[in-house]
Amino acid sequence: MLSVVTLLINETAPETPITDSLILEIAKGDMESFHSLYEAASGSVYGFALSILKNKHDAEDILQETFLTIHRKAADYLPQGKPMAWIFTIARNLCLTRLKGNGKLTELDEGRATEQAEFSEIGNLEHRLTLEATFKVLTDEERQILMLHAVGGVKFREIAHALDLHLNTVLSKYHRSIKKMKEKLEREGF
Amino acid sequence: MNNKRIHHNLSAAVNELIPSGEYEIITAKIDSAKNQEKAGINMTAKKSNGKIISYKKIIGTAVAACVALVIGLFGYNYYSTNYAVASIVDIDVNPSVELTANSKDKVLDVTAVNEDGKAILGDMDLKGTDIEVAVNAVVGAMVKGGYFDGQENEILISVQNDDKKHAETLKNKISDNVGTSLEAHKVSSAIINQTIEKGDKLSDAEKFAEEQGVSIGKANFILNLVKKDSSLKAEDLAKLSLKEIAEIVNTKKIDISDIAEVDPEDSIWENIADTVEDVNEQAEEKTDSSAPSNNGVITKNKAREIALRDAGLSESEVIFVEEKLESEKGKKVYEIEFYSEGTEYDYEINANTGKIISSDLDIEDFKIPSSKPQNNSDSSKKENNSSKTISKDKAEKAALKHAGVKASDARFDRTELDNDDGNLHYEIEFYANGYDYDYEVDAKSGAIISFDKEKDDDYVDSGKASNSNSSKITKSEAKKLALSHAGVKSADAKFSKTELDYDDGRKYYDVEFKAVGYEYDYEIDAESGAILKSDKEKDDDYVAPSSSSSKISKAKAKKAAFNHAGVKESEVRELSAEYDNDDGKKIYEIEFKSGKYEYSYEIDAISGKVISHEKEIDD
């Protein structure tokens, strides 16, 4: 993922880094900045929501709600140099609210989760199996950490902040999850 | 299977799952929230009169008719007589899309009238959304799909309703919304509004629309126009774009004031005159782009060029494996894949804008990188010739090579492109064989700008087997020798050069660094570690740390944190200090343990003040 970012920087229109000032521009109503933020962060927000909710439709809703909240709350943002942590805290809270709202359905959810964690619409088999593997072999927390780091290129420090974990915990969980994923995917022939 | 491949796979998988119209839906929701705020006032006013405006039974139909047209702002309101059940809204650009909504203004169904419409809709799921939101989403997707050329554009909105007031209100709401949304997308456009009411003509219009494969709104307009001027044939007009029709209106001097409500803010006739001029100019362009699905799509060669330029390679250096134009959810994307010297490059390029959507490169798996470190030197030669930014991969390799660490032994904790002080460089942190390495690698040349190696106290030394450097003294050791000789702490030193040189058959390290106002230059024997030469000069460029624009040293930041926490440096364990500038604010993030507590500090790198601090029991 970082190599993607790197290569994009060569382009004339580089991918905008997610900074405090970007959020402040959004607070002023600059839709171009909002769009840049969406381009830069939508993947990780969606992936994060998916890793928590295990359901594409819910993840889609959270993606929308997160960006609507960002747009609405940008003016309240306190620049502390941690915009990613802020964004993922919003996304996480929305996810948790949704899980609570679905509380009655928890028993059903178990069955639904495994059912939903199949992504037949992904054309590339390797991509698809990798994503599905995160639901099969990882714990929720491991999956969230891996997703944030892999899809969003979010720094471990910011992940620690957003998930309310210690940096060392995040690091060790990340390495464990990578190991599990490797084992799983290598068993599947990749 | 490596970390990068897992990252890439996940990233690709997730991005494929996100429906293409999400951003449009989000902005549409934002727009409608804004409009609701405004409308809220009106609604209350109306309510106090005992009359509630309702948007019941409104069916929105958005149909598009012409690509890249100019007509300025028109407001045609067609009040044909009735049509029984519900109401319809039409919006025309070139992709034609039809939306139907229920009595609660929620979208029941969205259908594409033509192929472009299908492409625009992709897999957008608008069912159940607010009609205004849906219309905005569709318009947003049209903008994104490149159906507005960014200059002058035309969009026809027609509202069909069983009640004039309903139609009028909805029309105004939607065209306001669309206007705002287009403005937000920086598209200048002409919005033509027409309201269609219950009318006998409508069924005719509908029939006509179906026969001719045009939208109802357009059909209705044509039929009305034909009634005004009998020399015109509806069938002929249907084949014309709105722009061409507008031209006919102009040339025939047809008074459309009774069949169209003209927006008083804009002079239509002036606009039409402009249009007529543009028609002549754009006539050729139009025939060229008559196949709208190809409109704005770059050629395959162009896509190749973009990918190669990005990779910093020439066509002769690569073997193309795959190039195809794909339509992913209405978005046209070139997939370009090629090999060069054992590296596979994989690009996705937006066929409309030429922007790189994603890129990825992989060293072929069958070459075990640790057993063939020569690969590095091949590619590093190229790096020097290229003025481009090297890849993260290359930067990591450069750091590994410098550190004498095998890729398989290293665990990368961070690799980031940083634009500190205007110098593009990679900040690379990794852990290997009991050491924490911290590198700065020039992003253009791949040269090592600075590096730092710290022993990880938790590590049980298993020998220095991995040190592949042939000279007895490693670079980091040479650096340490120079630092200790100079009495400078590594945190204070900024290395500009650490190179192994050969002179008269003697191997030595040339170490240059700056620290607290001085420039140091050392030559250290690579075999014995003896200091062959040392030089210390005042650094003229040096700005004292107290000055507002320069940052304090890492050591100072650490001290500030220790002082604040009331701990002695000697009592500190597991210290990590990181300078962070990429968020636009210069801070040091310092974490450490002392006693049974874990501390986490943020220190302002300019003022040295404690921005935030946390103290927790270490579990």
Chain A partners within 8 Å of B593 (Cβ): none
Of the listed ranges B122-126, B150-154, B492-496, B541-545, the one predicted with least confidence: B150-154
Kindly tell me if the per-residue pLDDT of A11 is higher than 80.
no
* Tens digit of each residue's pLDDT (9 = 90 or more) over B363-376: 543 333 333 334 44
Kindly tell me if the per-residue pLDDT of B128 is higher than 50.
yes
User: Cβ separation of A124 and B414 shorter than 8 Å?
Assistant: no
Nearest CA in chain B to A190: B1
Chain A partners within 8 Å of B576 (Cβ): 167
Nearest CA in chain A to B585: A81
Instruction: Pick the more confident residue, B594 or B322.
Output: B594
Mutation choice for A interface testing from B2, B6, B14 by most A CBs within 10 A = B14
Q: Is B421 left (phi over 0), alpha (psi -120 to 50) or beta?
A: left
Task: For residues A93 and A75, give the distance between their C-alpha atoms in angstroms, rounded to a whole number.
Answer: 19
pLDDT value at position A131? Answer: 92
Kindly tell me if the per-residue pLDDT of B417 is higher than 60.
yes
pLDDT value at position B142? Answer: 75
Q: Is B518 left (phi over 0), alpha (psi -120 to 50) or beta?
A: beta
pLDDT value at position B497? Answer: 78
Instruction: Pick the more confident residue, A104 or B140.
Output: B140
Query: Quick check: B160 and B196 in contact, CB under 8 A?
Result: yes
* Tens digit of each residue's pLDDT (9 = 90 or more) over B58-87: 223 232 322 222 222 232 232 222 232 244
Task: For residues B7 and A181, give the distance between their C-alpha atoms in angstroms, rounded to a whole number.
Answer: 11
Instruction: Give every CB contact of residue B371 below 8 A, 6+ residues apart in sequence.
Output: none
Which token pair is B96? 């034609």
Which token pair is B280? 């002549």
**pLDDT range class, residue A117, cuts 50, 70, 90:** low
Q: CB atoms < 10 A from the CB of B619, how many? A: 7
Please report, to the nearest 10 degrees, the dihedral formed by the alpha carbons of residues B289, B295, B296, B302 taken in order: -80
Pick from A5, A64, A81: which is nearest to B26 by CB?
A64
pLDDT value at position B600? Answer: 86
How many CB pairs (< 8 A) connect A and B? 175
The stretch B379-384 carries a mean pLDDT of 38
Pick from B5, B392, B583: which is nearest to A6 by CB?
B392
Paired residues of B75 in beta bridges: B193
Q: B327 and chain A: CB distance < 8 Å anywhere? A: no
Dmax (CA) for chain B in angstroms is 103
**CA distances from residue B282 to B275, B289, B297 in whole angstroms, order as listed:** 10, 10, 18
Kindly tell me if the per-residue pLDDT of B381 is higher than 50.
no
The stretch B465-477 carries a mean pLDDT of 59
The stretch A44-60 carries a mean pLDDT of 90
B65-101 burial string, b = 16+ CB within 10 Å, else e?
Answer: bbbbbbbbbbbbbbbbeebeebbbbbbbbbbbbbbbb
Of the listed ranges A130-144, B215-229, B374-388, the one predicted with least confidence: B374-388
Chain B partners within 8 Å of A9 (Cβ): 389, 417, 424
For the complex shown, is ipTM > 0.90? no
Task: For residues B534 and B593, give the distance between their C-alpha atoms in angstroms, rounded to a whole number.
Answer: 37
* Tens digit of each residue's pLDDT (9 = 90 or more) over B479-515: 888 888 888 887 778 887 777 777 666 788 888 888 8
Task: For residues B615 and B594, give the distance between their C-alpha atoms in angstroms, rounded to a whole number.
Answer: 10
User: Cβ separation of A121 and B26 shorter than 8 Å?
Assistant: no
User: Secondary structure of chain B: what % helix, strand, coil (to 5)?
Assistant: 35, 30, 35
Q: DSSP assignment, residue B109?
A: E
pLDDT value at position A69? Answer: 93
Q: DSSP assignment, residue A76?
A: G
The stretch B133-153 carries a mean pLDDT of 69
The stretch B559-579 carries a mean pLDDT of 84
**pLDDT range class, residue B466, cuts 50, 70, 90:** very low
**pLDDT range class, residue B324, cuts 50, 70, 90:** confident
User: Cβ separation of A50 and B15 shorter than 8 Å?
Assistant: no
**CA distances from residue B210 to A130, B206, B238 in whole angstroms, order as listed:** 47, 6, 11
pLDDT value at position A10? Answer: 29
**pLDDT range class, residue B187, cuts 50, 70, 90:** low
Dmax (CA) for chain A in angstroms is 51
* Tens digit of each residue's pLDDT (9 = 90 or more) over B229-279: 888 888 887 777 666 777 777 777 777 665 554 444 444 444 443 433 443
Orientation of helix A20-27 relative to helix A83-101, angle to 10°: 70
pLDDT value at position B328? Answer: 64
Kindly tell me if the per-residue pLDDT of A113 is higher than 50.
no
**pLDDT range class, residue B281, cuts 50, 70, 90:** very low
Only one residue has tokens 């084992």, namely A183
Kindly tell me if the per-residue pLDDT of A143 is higher than 90.
yes
Q: B587 and chain A: CB distance < 8 Å anywhere? A: yes
Looking at this protein, which amino acid is placed at residue B520?
Y
pLDDT value at position A6? Answer: 34
Strands (E), B117-249: 153-160, 189-196
Of the listed ranges A162-166, B92-96, B580-584, the one predicted with least confidence: B580-584
Residue B153, SS3 per DSSP: strand
User: Cβ separation of A131 and B10 shorter than 8 Å?
Assistant: yes
Q: What's the 3-state SS for B157-177?
A: EEEECCCHHHHHHHHHHHHHH
Average confidence score pLDDT of chain B: 68
pLDDT value at position A63? Answer: 94
Which token pair is B238? 């249907």
Q: Is A154 exposed, middle or buried (0-12, 13-18, 19+ CB in 10 A)?
A: buried
pLDDT value at position B234? Answer: 81
Task: For residues B271 and B265, give the distance between their C-alpha atoms in angstroms, rounded to a whole number.
Answer: 12
* Tens digit of each residue's pLDDT (9 = 90 or more) over B307-321: 888 877 777 777 777
Task: For residues B549 and B45, give the distance between their C-alpha atoms in angstroms, rounded to a whole number.
Answer: 56
Task: For residues B49 and B52, give the distance between their C-alpha atoms in angstroms, rounded to a whole number.
Answer: 8
Rounded (5°) CA angle A115-A118-A120: 130
Query: Quick check: A41 and B604 in contact, CB under 8 A?
Result: no
Task: For residues B99 and B157, give the distance between their C-alpha atoms in angstroms, rounded to a whole number.
Answer: 12
User: Cβ separation of B583 and A181 shorter than 8 Å?
Assistant: no
* Tens digit of each residue's pLDDT (9 = 90 or more) over B164-182: 666 677 777 777 777 776 6
Instruction: Give every CB contact of residue B155 below 8 A, 6+ residues apart in sequence.
Output: B64, B91, B92, B93, B139, B178, B182, B189, B190, B191, B192
CA distance B136 to chain A (A): 15
pLDDT value at position A142? Answer: 92
Residue A19, SS3 per DSSP: coil
Kindly tell me if the per-residue pLDDT of B296 is higher than 90.
no
Average confidence score pLDDT of chain A: 81
Of the listed ranges B22-26, B195-199, B509-513, the one predicted with least confidence: B195-199
pLDDT value at position A38? Answer: 92
pLDDT value at position B287? Answer: 31
Q: DSSP assignment, residue B541?
A: T
Q: Which of B556, B568, B558, B508 is nearest to B532 (CA)?
A: B508
Residue B555, SS3 per DSSP: helix
User: Cβ separation of B582 and A17 shorter than 8 Å?
Assistant: yes
Q: Which of B526, B419, B437 is nearest to B482 (CA)?
A: B526
Chain B partners within 8 Å of A10 (Cβ): 309-310, 312, 388-389
Q: Is B258 exposed, middle or buried (0-12, 13-18, 19+ CB in 10 A)?
A: exposed
The predicted model scores a pTM of 0.36
User: Cβ separation of B17 and A121 shorter than 8 Å?
Assistant: yes
CA distance B378 to chain A (A): 20
pLDDT value at position B604? Answer: 84
Chain B partners within 8 Å of A64 (Cβ): 22, 25-26, 29
pLDDT value at position B319? Answer: 76
Nearest CA in chain B to A152: B11
Task: For residues B175 and B286, give the distance between their C-alpha atoms in angstroms, rounded to a whole number.
Answer: 26
pLDDT value at position A68? Answer: 93
pLDDT value at position B385? Answer: 37
User: Cβ separation of B29 and A119 shorter than 8 Å?
Assistant: no
Q: B17 and chain A: CB distance < 8 Å anywhere? A: yes
**CA distances from residue B456 to B213, B432, B460, B541 in whole angstroms, order as listed:** 73, 9, 9, 34
CA distance B238 to chain A (A): 38
The stretch B530-538 carries a mean pLDDT of 80
The stretch B83-103 carries a mean pLDDT of 59
Q: B582 and chain A: CB distance < 8 Å anywhere? A: yes
Which token pair is B48? 């106090």
Q: Which of B146, B28, B153 is nearest to B93 (CA)?
A: B153
Instruction: Give every CB contact of residue B52 below 8 A, 6+ residues apart in sequence.
Output: B43, B46
Enclosing H/E stretch for B65: none
Chain B partners within 8 Å of A80 (Cβ): 585, 602, 611-612
Distance of CA B498 to the CA centre of its chain: 37
Instruction: Pick the more confident residue, B252 or A42.
Output: A42
Chain B partners within 8 Å of A190 (Cβ): 1, 5
